[in-house]
Amino acid sequence: MALKQLLEENKSVILSRWFDTILETYPVDTQHFLRSKKNQFDNPVARRISDGIEGIFSQILNDDEEKDVSPFLDKVIRIRAVQDFAPSRAVAFMFDLKRLVREVLGKAIRELQLSEELGRFEEAIDKMGLLALDIYMKCREEIYELRVNEVKRSVSRLIERANKICGIPGKEGDPEVCSTDNLT
Amino acid sequence: MSKVASPEELSRVRYGPPKKGWMDSPAEFKEGRWCYGSKPKDHHVIGLPNPRSWSPGDEDWKLPDNWKEIFLEGMRERLDKFRTFRIFMDICVRCGACADKCHFFIGSGDPKNMPVLRAELLRSIYRGEFTNTGKILGKLAGGRKLTYEVFKELFYYFFQCTECRRCSLFCPYGIDTAEITIIGRELLNLLGCNIDWITGPVANCYRTGNHLGIQPHAYHSMLEFFCEEIEEITGILPEPSFNRKGAEILFITPSGDVFADPGTYTCMGYIMLFHYLEGLGLDLTWSTYASEGGNFGYFTSHEMAKRLNAKMYAEAERLGVKWILGGECGHMWRVCNQYMDTFWEPPKSLEIPVSPITGTRFEQAKDHKMVHICEFTADLIKHGKLNLDPSRNDIYNVTFHDSCNPARAMGLFEEPRYIINNVCNNFVDMPINTIKEQTFCCGGGSGLNTDEIMDLRMRGGFPRANAVDYVHQKHGVNLLSCICAIDRATLPPLMEYWVPEVGVSGVHELVANALVLEGEQKRTTNLRAEEFPWVEEEEEEAEEEALEVSLEAAEETAAEAAEEAVAEAAEEAAEEAAEEVAEEAGEEEAEGEK
């Protein structure tokens, strides 16, 4: 597959442009920080984005049928799901890849007449973009679940105690978060 | 001729945000980023100004007509009263050393979460309203006027700072940005703009002595409940004493540990430790009146912090104790260690704390007369006073989160680690730039541990979670231990989101797991009712043994049966053979006769 070879040869250029494009979605002052700090603990956001897109790109080039891009998408989206982005902006980086590949490899693709392969490649990216949206939704749902669990946990022992006094058995198999259903 | 842009250039959409200066980018109030507004009923209880129903999401915050005057007058008063505040307003050179040290900035990427810029929100008003250069040159001199929009922006960002003080560590001038937030919140309070998660607990604490508003009988009842649970696990029923006059030590701990998991296990840990020490001469009482170590008043104003703190010394004096022992809490220690003995003169009845078990004199507590339970327990272990079985914590690979206030406000780094290393066999620290004085906040301190800003907490806590994830991946860490009640409330959801394989505990939960009580029954579970791994192994072994015994028995029976069968068969065969022989002999005889 000639396109795959082109992508592999230009991997570092594409990844670097992709990383820059993602950083450009942050305010200018923040971009400077995200680019300059290299320590993974001082600058975890940039590190995860960088690791995430590298993983996604490797999975795109991977022919293995068992390949799984989700953990790498999760790395990037889990962060963007709690930052100041609308859902469309949070996952747009996947679709940006199509534009970047055309910018970097457009000429070569035309010369080598790889438009058909490019079509298939872009279709695969679209699918990953949709998967990204699923992951975004999963993260958001987790946030709401965390809120509910926290409210329950904050009074769990009081309810457990109240139930014990009233002789109401607790919910089986749920020792940590005591049920409030029993009180209603 | 001017250059005409190509269609490609014209059609290109810019994905980045517009390049505007921070003063021209007003705060956008987004759900999940701001806390619910304070309620009028709580304002009435504690006498906060401007009680009304309002929400930070509203256009109109229902401020009094002279709000600007009140704010600026309050600022002037504080500039005169607090020398530090005036210095912090004057000396920042905007070097940016603090800029990338804030967990909220690192996690959110919002420039106004840079400590320097967060402080600049207020500093610009100082310049614009209080200095001549700022008044004349305005924006050129970094000054601006206080407007309604600016006021709202102050609220938005001062409630996105957890007052953790990590930034102050890196400031070459020693500017404590947390103190700027503290003053900023005081000024907001003058107009009745606080959050429900702070004023609610403050009002409760003022009425009943603790943030949850639990009354003495319920507080007592909860601790009794824990004692019953301890009895189920150990076979021993501790009997802690309450409000006992004449006790030597008063114990005060955050109420969060009495009601919310997983802090409750830490609370059970205290009870077990005190029970153990009773036999060694510990004379300690709990109080249902000083039933809160935490102090959300500190997130409101200095005066409110002082008002809520009053009960500690008052109760110590009323009971006539010699000193105070404090539980695992965060900001409680900042207040007690840095403010309490300037708020008040300690009662004359209090003495320099001396451990009744080891005789150690806690010189570091000679001013405020209060000892941290980690200092107390570490001393006990150092003197070999505790009988410990660390293997009971073997299911855990532990790391330790330095809670911001005990770390940066009292330098408590080694004692908790010393304890953990003595009660657990598996401990590993997170990378150095994320622990001790450089520790990252949990993302929910200073009254921001409320659920409506879960988004904000997740991104604010991300640098901490990232370091936990590192030791989880590299060393298999599965438990994050800490010494702060707010941590124990905020870290579990943080872990669930970023590193779901890691749980959260207090240090004294681990102590109690390892502590061998005199006369205890054979323990099969830890405080969380999780079975020790060897229990299953022992059960399996016992089962195997039983099986072996029954097999042996079966074999014996089978052998006996086989022997019998063989003997029977031999008999039968012998009989048959004899018959055959007889028959043959008979036949031969008959043939002979023929």
Rounded to an integer, the average pLDDT of B214-229 is: 94
Which residues of chain B neighbour A106 with C-beta distances below 8 Å? none
Separation between Cα atoms, residue A118 and residue A122, nearest integer Å: 6
Nearest CA in chain A to B430: A41
CA distance B260 to chain A (A): 5
Rounded to an integer, the average pLDDT of B137-146 is: 92
pLDDT score of A68 more than 50: yes
Q: Which CATH number is associated with domain B21-194? A: 1.10.1060
Please report the pLDDT score of residue B593 as a whole number: 52
Task: Name B255's Cβ contacts closer than 8 Å, sequence gap at least 6.
Answer: B210, B211, B212, B214, B219, B291, B292, B293, B294
Cα B62 from chain centre: 36
- Among B107, B109, B264, the residue with its CB nearest the CB of A26 is B109
Contact B17, A27 (CB under 8 A): yes
* B225/A164 Cβ within 8 A: yes
Give the model's confidence band at B282: pLDDT under 50 very low, under 70 low, under 90 confident, else very high. very high
- Among B17, B455, B493, the residue with its CB nearest the CB of A150 is B493
The better pLDDT of the pair B6, B53 is held by B53
Name the CA dihedral angle for B256, B261, B266, B271, rounded to a multiple of 10 degrees. Answer: 80
* B497/A143 Cβ within 8 A: yes
CA distance A76 to chain B (A): 12
pLDDT score of B429 more than 90: yes
Separation between Cα atoms, residue A94 and residue A18, nearest integer Å: 9
Closest to A29 (Cα-Cα) out of B244, B159, B102, B133: B102
Nearest CA in chain B to A36: B100
Strands laid side by side in the B503-506 sheet:
B398-401, B479-482, B503-506
Closest to B176 (Cα-Cα) out of B445, B409, B444: B409
| Structure token digits, residue B321 | 């104790």
Which residues of chain A neighbour B467 with C-beta distances below 8 Å? 41
Contact B107, B467 (CB under 8 A): no
**Of the given ranges (A63-67, A95-99, B304-308), which has the lowest mean pLDDT?**
A63-67
H-only helix segments in chain A: 2-9, 11-23, 28-36, 44-61, 70-80, 87-111, 115-154, 156-166
Nearest CA in chain A to B485: A154
CB pairs under 8 A between A and B: 127
What are A's interface residues with B at a Cβ cutoff of 8 A?
21, 24-30, 33-34, 37, 39-45, 48, 78-79, 82-84, 92, 96, 139, 142-143, 146-147, 149-151, 153-158, 160-161, 164, 175-176
Q: What is the 3-state secondary structure (H, E, C) of B438-505?
A: HCCCCCCCCCCCCHHHHHHHHHHCHHHHHHHHHHHHHHCCCEEEECCHHHHHHHHHHHHHHCCCCEEE
Which residues of chain A neighbour B110 with C-beta distances below 8 Å? 27, 30, 84
- Taking the Cβ of residue B434 and every Cβ of chain A, the question of whether any pair is shorter than 8 Å is answered with yes
Please report the pLDDT score of residue B525 as a whole number: 96
* A24/B16 Cβ within 8 A: yes
Tell me the C-alpha to C-alpha distance, in Å, between residue A118 and each of A9, B7, B345, B430: 16, 22, 78, 45
Q: What is the pLDDT of residues B155-182, one digit of tens each?
A: 999 999 999 999 999 999 999 999 999 9
- Is B333 in a helix, a strand, or coil? helix
- Among B225, B497, B529, the residue with its CB nearest the CB of A146 is B497
pLDDT score of A75 more than 60: yes
What does DSSP assign to residue B329?
-
Rounded to an integer, the average pLDDT of B525-550 is: 87
Please report the pLDDT score of residue A157 as a whole number: 76
Calculate what percentage of chain B has a pLDDT beyond 70.
94
Tell me how long chain B is. 594
Mean pLDDT of chain B: 93
Number of CB atoms found within 10 A of residue A3's CB = 20
**What's the distance, Cα to Cα, between the start and end of chain B in Å?**
151
Number of CB atoms found within 10 A of residue A54's CB = 17
Please report the pLDDT score of residue B518 as a whole number: 95
| Structure token digits, residue B59 | 């256009």
Residue burial A119-139, b: 16+ Cβ < 10 Å; e: rest = eebeeebeebbebbbebbeeb
Which residues of chain A neighbour B452 with C-beta distances below 8 Å? 147
For residue B346, whether the previous peptide bond is cis, meaning omega lies within 30 degrees of 0, is: no
Q: What is the pLDDT of residues B442-455, one digit of tens each?
A: 999 999 999 999 99
Q: What is the pLDDT of residues A111-135, one digit of tens each?
A: 999 999 999 999 999 999 999 999 9
* A155/B259 Cβ within 8 A: yes
The enclosing H or E element of B251 equals strand B249-252
Rounded to an integer, the average pLDDT of B357-379 is: 97
Domain with CATH 1.10.1060 in chain B: 21-194
Rounded to an integer, the average pLDDT of B459-466 is: 98
What does DSSP assign to residue B362?
-
Task: Mutate one of B497, B499, B504, B531 to test the A interface: name it (highest A CB count within 10 A).
Answer: B497
Rounded to an integer, the average pLDDT of A74-86 is: 96
Q: Which residues pair with B481 in a beta bridge?
A: B400, B505
Give the model's confidence band at A154: pLDDT under 50 very low, under 70 low, under 90 confident, else very high. confident
Residue B182 burial (10 A CB sphere; 0-12, 13-18, 19+): buried
Q: What is the 3-state secondary structure (H, E, C) of B262-291?
A: CHHHHHHHHHHHHHHHHCCCCCEEECCCCC
Phi/psi for B388 (5° steps) reads: -120, 145
- Among A42, A150, A157, the residue with its CB nearest the CB of B264 is A157
Q: Which of residues 246-275 of B touch A (CB under 8 A)?
A: 258-261, 264
Which residues of chain B neighbour A150 with C-beta distances below 8 Å? 451, 454, 489, 492-493
* B459/A28 Cβ within 8 A: no
Which residues of chain B neighbour A160 with C-beta distances below 8 Å? 225
Give the model's confidence band at A179: pLDDT under 50 very low, under 70 low, under 90 confident, else very high. very low
**What's the distance, Cα to Cα, between the start and end of chain A in Å?**
64
Which residues of chain A neighbour B433 with C-beta distances below 8 Å? 39, 41-42
pLDDT score of A166 more than 90: no
Please report the pLDDT score of residue A181 as a whole number: 43
- Among A33, A78, A149, the residue with its CB nearest the CB of B100 is A33
- Among B99, B106, B111, the residue with its CB nearest the CB of A43 is B106
Give the model's confidence band at B550: pLDDT under 50 very low, under 70 low, under 90 confident, else very high. confident
Please report the pLDDT score of residue B541 as a whole number: 84
Number of CB atoms found within 10 A of residue B278's CB = 14
The better pLDDT of the pair B569, B62 is held by B62
Give the model's confidence band at B545: pLDDT under 50 very low, under 70 low, under 90 confident, else very high. confident
pLDDT score of A178 more than 50: no
Residue B532 region, left (φ>0) first, then alpha (ψ -120 to 50), else beta? beta
Number of CB atoms found within 10 A of residue B137's CB = 14
Please report the pLDDT score of residue A163 as a whole number: 78
Q: Which of residues 85-144 of B touch A (CB under 8 A)?
A: 99-100, 105-111, 114
Please report the pLDDT score of residue B21 as a whole number: 82
* B467/A146 Cβ within 8 A: no
Residue located via tokens 């004294």? B508
- Among A43, A143, A157, the residue with its CB nearest the CB of B259 is A157
Q: What is the pLDDT of residues B227-267, one digit of tens each?
A: 999 999 999 999 999 999 999 999 999 998 888 889 999 99
Please report the pLDDT score of residue B17 as a whole number: 61
- Is B239 in a helix, a strand, or coil? coil
Give the model's confidence band at B592: pLDDT under 50 very low, under 70 low, under 90 confident, else very high. low
Closest to B441 (Cα-Cα) out of B418, B457, B452: B457
Task: Mutate one of A95, A150, A172 to test the B interface: name it (highest B CB count within 10 A).
Answer: A150
* B16/A25 Cβ within 8 A: yes
Residue B277 region, left (φ>0) first, then alpha (ψ -120 to 50), else beta? alpha
Catalogue all structural domains in chain A, each as residue range(s) with its CATH number. Answer: 2-154 (1.10.490)
Contact A90, A80 (CB under 8 A): yes
* A42/B100 Cβ within 8 A: yes
